[in-house]
Amino acid sequence: MPLAPKSFEIFCGTGGVGKTTLATSRALNLSQSGKRVLLVTIDPAKRLKDLLGLSSESIGEVTKVELEGVVLDALLMSPEKTIARMAEKYQTPDLVENKIVQILSRPYGGMNEILSLVEMQMQFESGAYDCIVLDTPPGAHFLDFLEGIGKIRSFFDQNFVEIFSYLGQKTAKAGTKVFGLGIINRIVSGGVRKLLGYLQNVTGAQFIDDFIQAIQIIYQSKEAFLKGLSLQDKLKIKEECNWFLVTSVEQGKAQEAIELKSHASHFIHQDHYLVLNKCLEEELRDWHPESHNLLQIKNTLESKEVNLKIRLKESFPVVLEFPEVISLSPLEHIHFLTKKWNQYVV
């Protein structure tokens, strides 16, 4: 299957398989071919920051990075900065000021994946890029990213629309007054009323007012969230998106990749790629040990890797192989892997 560049290129997989380095090398390879590329990471560990030597001040801002004489844009996701861009674009300044929204938009506040989808959509709509390469969080966090689209849809389903509309009408009649438990008691279920009543006793009335205001403010910015839903269709179309599920020849990693694929089978289209990293087969061919013990080690390593590839090719339509890079320099890793991508390009 030929590997053609797409509007979105998504790298996912468990931790420690070289996912961030491979995503960076792919972005660089696309840039070298003349594409306008944005490299994005939603990995809360910020491995891309260390890999590219970016400063803490660059988090949340599109930053130009020069690698191999080529300049590409990189973005370390910051939910707070995305909220600020949304507030500016959709003229909803209260989105930045609300205390509840501030809590939710912290790196581990629960909105990271949803806001990442919104950010990707806003960046793509800007027309500044031909391709967005996304480095997702490792392992189970990747599944959170996939479910982020469903979370947006659930949050803005018809029930919430009716509630927000009701709140909006009441707020408009009352001017700028923020309604409290009185309105909520009339429109939500008994279970939620009890919860809000409990929260009021524990946190005070101000928290409830902030909570209700947060709901209203978020709904005022619904256009940005709902536009994120359009990614759902794009990411499922093979002409729009390349999915790279990254694993390595290390013990147990391949099974994790198979399990991730199974969990995401309803989302990833069928023409995806498995990227098998840290392969040793080519290097082992050139190794001719003289001692019997070393020869046994070589044969064992070769046999394990060959059997692993046979197993993986039964589960994945295309397997792209990348070798282990013996170097302490991250930039040397990127350089070598960037050239390796040329073997798979159309």
The 10s digit of each residue's pLDDT in 164-174 is: 445 445 444 55
- The CB-based long-range contact list for 43-48 (8 Å cut-off, 24+ gap) reads 43/135, 43/136, 43/137, 43/138, 43/141, 44/107, 44/108, 44/112, 44/137, 44/141, 46/76, 47/20, 47/135, 48/20, 48/23, 48/24, 48/74, 48/76, 48/135
Look at residues 9, 105, 19 and name the one whose alpha carbon lies nearest to residue 277. Answer: 19
Pairing of strands 319-323, 63-67: unpaired
CA pair distance 16, 25, nearest whole angstrom: 16
Look at residues 308, 316, 144, 311 and name the one whose alpha carbon lies nearest to residue 243. Answer: 316
Of all residues in the chain, the percent with pLDDT exceeding 70 is 76
Eight-class DSSP state of 7: S
The 10s digit of each residue's pLDDT in 208-237 is: 677 777 777 777 777 777 777 677 777 888
Q: Using an 8 Å Cβ cutoff, are 276 and 248 in contact?
A: yes
Q: Using an 8 Å Cβ cutoff, are 216 and 167 in contact?
A: yes
Tell me the CA distances in angstroms from 68 to 18, 41, 278, 340, 342, one per residue in order.
Answer: 19, 20, 22, 14, 15
CA pair distance 225, 191, nearest whole angstrom: 27
In which element (H, E) is residue 183 found? helix 181-187
Could you tell me the domains of the chain? 8-153+237-280+318-341 (3.40.50.300), 155-225 (no CATH)
The 10s digit of each residue's pLDDT in 101-131 is: 887 777 665 677 778 888 898 999 999 999 9
- Identify each DSSP E strand in 143-251 by its residue range: 241-248
The 10s digit of each residue's pLDDT in 301-315 is: 888 888 888 888 888
- pTM for the predicted model, two decimal places: 0.81
Kindly state the tokens that stand for 59: 């988090």
CA pair distance 135, 24, nearest whole angstrom: 8
Higher pLDDT, 67 or 266: 67
Look at residues 4, 35, 68 and name the one whose alpha carbon lies nearest to residue 339. Answer: 68
For 312, list phi and psi in degrees, rounded to 5: -70, -35
Kindly state the tokens that stand for 82: 């995305």
Q: Using an 8 Å Cβ cutoff, are 9 and 16 in contact?
A: no
Mapping DSSP to helix (H, G, I), strand (E, B) and coil, where does residue 338 land?
helix
Q: Is the pLDDT of residue 175 over 70?
A: no
Q: Is the pLDDT of residue 322 over 90?
A: yes
Look at residues 345, 273, 237 and name the one whose alpha carbon lies nearest to residue 11. Answer: 273
CA pair distance 191, 241, nearest whole angstrom: 42
pLDDT for the residue 126: 92
Q: Using an 8 Å Cβ cutoff, are 244 and 273 in contact?
A: yes
CA pair distance 165, 216, nearest whole angstrom: 9
Secondary structure (DSSP) of 77-139: --HHHHHHHHHHHTT-THHHH-HHHHHHTSTTSS-HHHHHHHHHHHHHHTT--SEEEEEPPST
Per-residue pLDDT, averaged over 282-304, amounts to: 87
pLDDT for the residue 257: 78
The 10s digit of each residue's pLDDT in 269-282 is: 778 899 999 998 88
